[in-house]
């Protein structure tokens, strides 16, 4: 047992409150240093310390609401929000999170939710970590010969031929409304099943697929994350009863403190080195997940109480 155990009412387990606070702060620190949401690290880490996976996912979503409000305020004060784009993404996001929570409940009943969460995370983190490692190494090598190539803001592809075109003033774009809706939908599903905000998928997609100006991206993606994680929290609470507010609030307090320290540290470190470091952390978590999935478990049997 830990220094100061706290009984988490929904999770039904007793965990060390200091340990949880430190976990929240560590993930907050990472999100402050690297400018990522950190949900993709928080959920697997909670599972490692013994929180039931379903509760870890839903409570991470709850924690994410607070963490993104905290981050969004700074961006909104500077007007870095494309409201129309955000609203359309949100429309898709609500539908996606609804489908995601329904899928989640179905998988939980059938006893496959843990394996789906673990497999999705292993795939996601391996891909993400490898891409980041590749990109940061290349950037680090390229640093000495800065042959600045002129790049177009975005490539024109079949995506720009889709119907229902709208003018997005803040982003200076004229694209189909279907694009942000579909992007929001995909991120919503991801958010419901994995308890992540999806910033790491959404931000690159907004820059490279939609062609949004970089300045408007964080404010708009945080806008989407706040409301989608709020919708996931409420839907999970109603459909699966898996939101532990005590857990979420302890993590949130730790996360906010960590994020502020992280932001200061981040300013002092160099970009490529930071990304290299994050890539290694992400790959380490992925390796642990893959190890747990592929090595013969000590106990092949598990039990679950059926709700009447």
Partner 1 sequence: MSRGRRMCLIAAAVLCCAGPTRADQPLLADLTSHLIAITTGFTGTSVVLFGTIDGPGDVVAIVRGPEQDVVVRQKRHLAGIWINAHELAFAAVPSYYAVFSNRPLEQIASAGMRGLHQLGIGNLRLEPRDAGRPEGEISTFRNALIAEEQRQGLYAEQPNSVSFLGDRLFRANISFPANVPTGTYFVEVLLVRDGNVVTGQTTPLVVSEIGLNADLNEFALRSALLYGFAAVAGAALLGWLSSLPFRDA
Residues that bind partner 1 (CB under 8 A): 1, 5-7, 9-10, 12-14, 62-63, 65-71, 73-74, 77, 111-112, 115, 119, 226, 230, 233-238, 241, 243, 245-246, 248-249, 252-253, 256, 260, 263, 293-297, 299-306, 308
Q: Cβ closer to partner 1: 158 or 301?
A: 301
Q: Cβ closer to partner 1: 168 or 223?
A: 223
- Closest C-alpha among 98, 27, 124, 13 to residue 66: 27
Q: How far apart are CA 234 and CA 61, in angstroms?
A: 10
Q: How far apart are CA 201 and CA 225, in angstroms?
A: 12
Question: Closest separation between CB of residue 240 and partner 1, Å?
Answer: 9
Q: Cβ closer to partner 1: 182 or 248?
A: 248
Phi, psi of 62 (to 5 degrees): -65, -45
- Closest C-alpha among 230, 226, 11 to residue 101: 230
**Pairing mode, strands 165-168 and 13-16:** unpaired
Question: Closest separation between CB of residue 152 and partner 1, Å?
Answer: 35
Q: Cβ closer to partner 1: 144 or 296?
A: 296
CA angle 190, 12, 51 (to 5 degrees): 40
Question: Closest separation between CB of residue 113 and partner 1, Å?
Answer: 10
Residues 6+ apart with CB under 8 A from 54: 104, 108, 113, 240, 242
Phi, psi of 165 (to 5 degrees): -75, 145
Question: Closest separation between CB of residue 297 and partner 1, Å?
Answer: 6
- The whole-angstrom distance between residue 128's C-alpha and the CA centroid of its chain comes to 12
Question: Closest separation between CB of residue 66 and partner 1, Å?
Answer: 3
Q: Cβ closer to partner 1: 59 or 136?
A: 59
Residue for token pair 């994350």: 225
Q: Cβ closer to partner 1: 5 or 135?
A: 5
Question: Closest separation between CB of residue 19 and partner 1, Å?
Answer: 14
């Amino acid at each position: 047992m830990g220094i100061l155990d706290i009984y988490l009412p929904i999770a039904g387990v007793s965990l060390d409150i200091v340990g949880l606070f430190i976990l929240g702060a560590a993930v907050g620190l990472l999100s402050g240093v690297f400018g990522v949401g950190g949900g993709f690290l928080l959920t697997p880490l909670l599972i490692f310390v013994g929180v039931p996976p379903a509760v870890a996912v839903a409570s991470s979503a709850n924690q994410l609401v607070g963490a993104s409000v905290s981050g969004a305020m700074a961006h909104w004060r500077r007007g870095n929000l494309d409201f129309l784009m955000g609203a359309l993404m949100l429309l898709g996001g609500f539908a996606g999170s609804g489908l995601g929570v329904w899928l989640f409940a179905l998988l939980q009943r059938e006893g496959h939710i843990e394996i789906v969460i673990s497999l999705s995370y292993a795939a996601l983190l391996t891909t993400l970590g490898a891409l980041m490692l590749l990109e940061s190494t290349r950037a680090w090598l390229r640093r000495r010969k800065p042959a600045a190539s002129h790049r177009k803001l975005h490539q024109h592809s079949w995506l720009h031929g889709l119907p229902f075109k709208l003018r997005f003033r803040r982003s200076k774009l004229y694209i189909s409304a279907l694009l942000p809706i579909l992007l929001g939908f995909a991120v919503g599903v991801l958010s419901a099943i994995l308890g992540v905000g999806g910033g790491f998928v959404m931000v690159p997609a907004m820059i490279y697929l939609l062609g949004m100006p970089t300045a408007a991206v964080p404010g708009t993606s945080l806008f989407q994350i706040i409301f989608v994680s709020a919708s996931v929290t409420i839907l999970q609470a109603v459909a699966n009863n898996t939101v532990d507010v005590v857990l979420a609030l302890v993590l949130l307090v730790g996360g906010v403190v960590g994020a502020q320290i992280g932001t200061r540290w981040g300013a002092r470190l160099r970009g490529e080195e930071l990304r290299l470091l994050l890539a290694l952390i992400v790959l380490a978590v992925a390796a642990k997940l893959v190890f747990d999935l592929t090595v013969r478990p000590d106990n092949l049997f598990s039990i679950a109480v059926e709700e009447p």
